[in-house]
């Protein structure tokens, strides 16, 4: 395996303000790490935040107005969220639907009633065998994919492995990705490059499009950078890959369920993604796999397994792949998890994804605006300010970002920390509100002693 031009870690390119001060603390920011623990008690900060919150009626009025404007998108009443908690982590793990236990309970009753015959369905019921395709068909409108081109199965890492291996069969040449890709993707790509004796080229995220040339066989990009929230242009990168004669494999984990994705009209070759983030399928929810319909006959699953067989229950010794995307399945599907994901996707059935995207841009834009208003240049926002260039998260970089996230958690605001110095806030327009944005920013200001 060769890693050409492996870039310096992105965080070493931080502004001098942040990195040049001993142990990384900028002079302009309060030193979270050095504050005595007693100063971080939630009640004190929350009282301060509440005063600030009440004192910012114009922000609140603006928020309520924005919430009214985007009310057609909100599905908050469908979700089970602890009262009072501001959950800004739906980009990592979406919350459960209210009543999900009934759906899963019904599946357990079906299991106890029908036992093994549950696989094939009786009395007009669909069997569990086809659930991966049925869940796939619910995902198709969310991904802008043609009917029959998506299947729900396995984890994202496993699906990425299958997709990239299949893409390598289609084209010789280098594998290309960017340093902002999620670590599991980088590991899988490095493993494939190693076993295939190919070069893995890793470039800076902003250079990916220019790095595509005829030496590249497979380009694998995650549409939104999990740290910075930067959105890659799926259409133009895919087009460039095709012009160079390559195959494009996309990871949609941080976009599906947050914005429309047009796989079909952009001619994407293969795509994968998580079911547990903005799609709210639950911890460890099955992932999904997309294959371009006119490519599927040429696509070989590197993990040939009986559930990818055309007729698994013939128990034939010879592997005959399914005609469609079902060939990317491997083994026995995880039925109880698929039932939960299936129920969660129902939320999207009558949703206009363009409205969902606009509401998400409004939430992230309002968050950035209030951070600017409250904290001005004290914070380094590393997410693009142009709303068309970001996903549905906002990341800020500061020393002891871990402490900030910890103290926000104590005040009832869930964000997350990404090593070494990123505090990340994900917004799902399905359940987050602009009012929550005002409260979250108040708590951030309070936590930073402002």
Ligand X SMILES: Cc1ncc(COP(=O)(O)O)c(C=O)c1O
Does 155 interact with ligand X (rule: CB under 6 A)? yes
Q: Which two tokens stand for residue 180?
A: 């902002």
Does 185 interact with ligand X (rule: CB under 6 A)? yes
Return d(Cα 305, Cα 330) in angstroms, integer.
4
Q: Which two tokens stand for residue 1?
A: 């395996």
Only segment of 72-80, 107-115, 152-160, 256-264 that touches ligand X (CB under 6 A): 152-160
276 among known catalytic residues:
yes
251 among known catalytic residues:
yes
Q: Which of 89, 140, 251, 342 binds ligand X (CB under 6 A)?
A: 251
Q: Which of 222, 228, 337, 392 binds ligand X (CB under 6 A)?
A: 222
Query: Shortest gap between Cβ of 156 and ligand X (angstroms)?
Result: 3
120 among known catalytic residues:
no
DSSP-based three-state secondary structure for 93: coil
Number of alpha carbons in the 13 Å side-chain half-sphere of residue 318: 1
Q: Is 178 exposed, middle or buried (0-12, 13-18, 19+ CB in 10 A)?
A: buried
Among 296, 298, 320, smallest CA distance to 307 is for: 320
Return d(Cα 221, Cα 270) in angstroms, integer.
11
Does 340 interact with ligand X (rule: CB under 6 A)? no
Does 249 interact with ligand X (rule: CB under 6 A)? no
The structure tokens 């994968």 sit at 272
Distances (CA, A) of 250 to 1, 221, 320: 22, 5, 27
Of the residues 198, 277, 327, 439, only one is catalytic, namely 277
Does 182 interact with ligand X (rule: CB under 6 A)? yes
Of the residues 48, 240, 357, 424, only one is catalytic, namely 424
Q: Pick between residue 309 and residue 334 the one whose CB is nearest to ligand X.
A: 334
Paired residues of 221 in beta bridges:
250
Among 450, 278, 444, 447, smallest CA distance to 368 is for: 444
Only segment of 54-62, 153-161, 240-248, 434-442 that touches ligand X (CB under 6 A): 153-161
Return d(Cα 420, Cα 39) in angstroms, integer.
23
Q: Write each residue from 3 to 22 as x if it is in contact with ligand X (CB under 6 A), else as -, in one continuous string.
A: --------------------
292 among known catalytic residues:
no
Among 280, 257, 271, smallest CA distance to 360 is for: 257
Of the residues 79, 182, 278, 348, only one is catalytic, namely 182
Query: Shortest gap between Cβ of 252 and ligand X (angstroms)?
Result: 8
Q: Pick between residue 285 and residue 447 the one whose CB is nearest to ligand X.
A: 285
**The total number of residues written for the chain in this structure:** 450
Query: Shortest gap between Cβ of 11 and ligand X (angstroms)?
Result: 18
Does 274 interact with ligand X (rule: CB under 6 A)? yes
Enzyme catalytic residues: 182, 251, 276-277, 424
Please report, as ranges, the residues that interact with ligand X according to CB under 6 A: 155-157, 182, 184-185, 222, 226, 251, 253-254, 274, 287
């Amino acid at each position: 395996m060769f890693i050409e031009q492996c870039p310096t870690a992105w965080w070493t390119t931080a502004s001098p303000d942040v990195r040049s001060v001993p142990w990384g603390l900028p002079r302009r920011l309060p030193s979270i790490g050095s504050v005595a623990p007693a100063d971080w008690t939630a009640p004190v900060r929350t009282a301060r935040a509440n005063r600030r919150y009440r004192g910012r009626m114009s922000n609140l009025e603006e928020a309520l107005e924005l919430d009214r404007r985007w009310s057609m998108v909100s599905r908050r009443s469908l979700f089970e969220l602890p009262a009072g908690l501001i959950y800004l982590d739906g980009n990592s793990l979406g919350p459960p639907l209210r009543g999900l236990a009934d759906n899963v309970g019904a599946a357990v009753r079906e299991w106890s009633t029908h036992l093994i015959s549950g696989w094939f369905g009786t009395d007009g019921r669909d069997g569990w065998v086809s659930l991966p395709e049925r869940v796939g068909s619910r995902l198709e409108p969310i991904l802008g994919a043609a009917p029959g081109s998506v299947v729900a199965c396995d984890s994202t890492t496993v699906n990425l492995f299958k997709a990239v291996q299949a893409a390598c069969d289609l084209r010789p040449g280098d594998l290309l990705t960017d340093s902002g890709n999620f670590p599991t993707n980088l590991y899988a790509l490095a493993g494939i490059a190693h076993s295939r004796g190919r070069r893995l080229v890793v470039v800076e995220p902003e250079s990916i499009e220019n790095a595509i040339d005829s030496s590249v066989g497979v380009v694998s990009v995650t549409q939104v950078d999990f740290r910075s929230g930067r959105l890659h242009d799926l259409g133009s990168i895919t087009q460039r890959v095709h012009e160079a004669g390559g195959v494009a494999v996309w990871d949609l984990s941080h976009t599906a369920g947050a914005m429309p994705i047009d796989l079909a009209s952009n001619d994407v070759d293969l795509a994968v993604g998580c079911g547990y983030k903005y799609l709210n399928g639950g911890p460890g929810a099955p992932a999904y796999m997309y294959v371009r319909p006119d490519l599927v006959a040429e696509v070989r699953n590197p993990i040939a397994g009986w559930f990818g067989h055309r007729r698994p229950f013939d128990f034939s010794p010879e592997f005959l792949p399914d005609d469609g995307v079902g060939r990317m399945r491997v083994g026995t599907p995880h039925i109880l998890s698929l039932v939960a994901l299936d129920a969660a996707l129902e939320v999207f059935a009558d949703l206009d994804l363009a409205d969902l995207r606009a509401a998400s841009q409004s939430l992230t834009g309002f968050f950035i605006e209030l951070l600017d208003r409250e904290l001005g240049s004290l914070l380094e926002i590393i997410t693009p300010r142009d709303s068309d260039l970001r996903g549905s998260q906002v990341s800020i970089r500061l020393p002891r970002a871990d402490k900030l996230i910890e103290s926000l958690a104590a005040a009832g605001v869930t964000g997350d920390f990404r090593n070494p110095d990123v505090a990340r806030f994900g917004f799902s327009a399905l359940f987050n509100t602009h009012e929550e944005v005002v409260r979250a920013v108040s708590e951030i200001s309070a936590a930073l002693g402002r």
